[in-house]
Structure 1
């Protein structure tokens, strides 16, 4: 799979997920969507959304990364960077159904 580096801003997510702005911010706060500031705006990697929903396995993986001491920005960077152990980005691996492999790779960061 290729790394789609497209970013979605909050207004994009409102339209894509058909949710109000407040709910989008809540999804980010609850770690259901990984977000970071890019070019001054809060953005989410487009690969974190599929079929109008956040990837279901994202929250658990984000919590593992944060529990290991990564910042939100570092967690997002890890999710979108190519991982040698996975042979793809962690987001691509999650989209391919490899949640367990992604979580193992995340735990190796600790």
Structure 2
């Protein structure tokens, strides 16, 4: 149940960010949710698989709840990183008022 709340709020924040900058709202909401799951998958490849070679019974002895507690921070961290990068990039694309005012003027030499 908690996972559904995470998915809802992640999608909502990405939807609102895309709406603010005039991008595809549903596309980026889905991309945000996919990033949450990819961040969880990254946990397995970066942390748990190498740990499995060091301590062989690590993954087998873990509960599903333990896996969930490990996946959530990685997923939220990946979403936060993508959100921050998108917001920063889209902020740079907004033209400043000086450049908008200079569009119709002739250059004086």
TM-score by length of 1: 0.33
The structure in which a higher percent of residues are strand is 1
Name which one, 1 or 2, has greater alpha-carbon Rg.
Answer: 2
